[in-house]
Amino acid sequence: MKEIIRYLNDIIKGLCTLVKGMAVTGHYFFHPKLITTQQYPENRATLKMQERFRGEVIMPHDANNRHKCTGCGICEMNCPNGSIEIITRMIETPEGKKKKVIDKHIYHLGMCTLCNLCVKACPTGAIVMGQKFEHAVWDRSQLTKVLNQPGSEIMTDEKE
């Protein structure tokens, strides 16, 4: 007899714990305002990443197509996995001096671990982290980018 009572007791107690759990889920069922799910990609227009979000390395250019990169190669040295290649060329300045400028700042997004070391190391602040996070492409080669735009040159006198 005792056994049966204990058995029934266990069933009732067990059911109570289940109801307790159901109360939590039920609460959310009847309060849809509390649900925090985002409707991505429908909310693309309003979805904004935080300002420090590290999406990819970019090189900002001003209105005259000028950037701040001197071609020093420090970012290339600091990158732990060889995602950056710096190719420089020599030009002759109007005063007749030889000067090294950046030819191509090649960035392999496919290899980049977004560790921020290059951005931190760059002495002129020429590269920053971009906010884009939808990086899917059809072909791997599209992940290799040249960060300095064609025809761009370095900001010379003014400091911004």
Q: Residues 55, 66, 78, 106: which binds ligand SF4 (CB under 6 A)?
A: 78
Q: Is 72 in the site for another protein (CB under 8 A)?
A: no
The two three-digit tokens of residue 129, written as one number: 């982290």
Q: Which does 5 bind (CB under 5 to 8 A by kind): another protein, ligand SF4, none?
A: none
From residue 112 to residue 141, what is the string marking binding to another protein with x (rule CB under 8 A)?
Answer: -xxxxx--x--------x------------
Name residues whose C-beta falls within 8 Å of residue 18's C-beta, 6 or more positions apart in sequence.
Answer: none
d(CA 70, CA 76): 13
Which span sits near another protein by CB under 8 A: 44-52, 88-96, 140-148, 149-157?
44-52
Q: How many CB atoms lie within 10 A of CB 140?
A: 9
Q: Is 75 in the site for ligand SF4 (CB under 6 A)?
A: yes
Q: Is 39 in the site for another protein (CB under 8 A)?
A: no
The two three-digit tokens of residue 151, written as one number: 């025809």
Which of helix, strand or coil describes residue 61?
Answer: coil
Alpha-helix residue ranges (DSSP H) falling in the chain: 2-30, 74-78, 117-121
Which span sits near another protein by CB under 8 A: 63-71, 94-102, 107-115, 136-144?
107-115
Cβ atoms of residues 130 and 44 within 8 Å? no
Binding site for another protein (CB under 8 A): 13-15, 17-18, 20-21, 23-25, 36, 49-50, 52-54, 78, 80, 113-117, 120, 129
